[in-house]
Amino acid sequence: MKTNRKGVIGELAVRKSLMEQGYNVYLPEVDNDHVDMLVEHSNGQVKRVQVKTVIKKCTATSISVDTSKYRNSGRVDVIAIYYAPKNIIAYIPYGGESTINLALTTGKNNQRKGRKWFYQYERYPEFS
């Protein structure tokens, strides 16, 4: 699948999910500044969302997204990760990480400590 087509499919899935959760979603005219969409919260706040679409796992049990180009931009509030093979989305409040790793299943060694689970981020985060 071509990269731009993959990205559009991910953005559409995220927009649909956010609208089903009751958020107003706004799209910029152009996507050249790390903002795929703006999401309006019930308290009137607007957050900038960058969508990343993943089509394959990086290990047998997890996915990884490179977020280093957003690190010092100050332009991203939430990274929405669309995992296409399962049609699921994780909404991660962006704290300047270079990489986001999310576990989809338990590893062979049953490690749980220090792992971020994809499924703990399925709801869009509320901000105060």
Question: Is 31 a residue whose pLDDT tops 90?
Answer: no
pTM over the 0.85 mark? yes
Of 110 and 82, the one with more pLDDT:
82
Question: Is 112 a residue whose pLDDT tops 70?
Answer: no
Distance of CA 34 to the CA centre of its chain: 13
Are 51 and 10 in contact, with CB atoms under 8 Å apart? yes
Q: Name the β-bridge partners of 79.
A: 50, 92
Backbone angles phi, psi at 95, to 5 degrees: -115, 20
SS3 content of the chain, % helix, strand, coil (to 5): 20, 30, 50
Mean per-residue pLDDT of the chain:
91
Contacts of 39 (CB under 8 A, 6+ apart): 18, 23, 24, 25, 26, 46, 47, 49, 78, 124
Convert the pLDDT of each residue in 92-106 to its tens digit.
999 999 999 999 988
Task: Give the pLDDT confidence score for residue 99 in this predicted structure.
Answer: 96
- CATH placement of domain 3-56+70-97: 3.40.1350.10
